[in-house]
Structure 1
């Protein structure tokens, strides 16, 4: 799954939840749209995941 791939490239549980739109409390990512959190780390993790997906 996407979560498994994210974990395989070093994502924390919180990072996986943030990328997939879930938090431990069950809130969806849409509740934080427009927030101030930088996208650098999610971008880095997703680039690593792409390296694991065959063409």
Structure 2
């Protein structure tokens, strides 16, 4: 799951860092990002939710 409803040390009560959480379902995207010569800035900063609302 993405959230821990009873508490978390991370903002938004997420269960992992945002980057790890997104890649846990979207591993195909991780490969594209790591292979790319340029990467969308929020992705490299671990801020996927700046553009995407899961």
TM above 0.5: no
**Higher RCO, 1 or 2 (CA under 8 Å, sep at least 6)?**
1
The structure with the largest helix share of the pair is 1
- What's the TM-score once normalised by structure 2's chain length? 0.29
- What's the TM-score once normalised by structure 1's chain length? 0.29
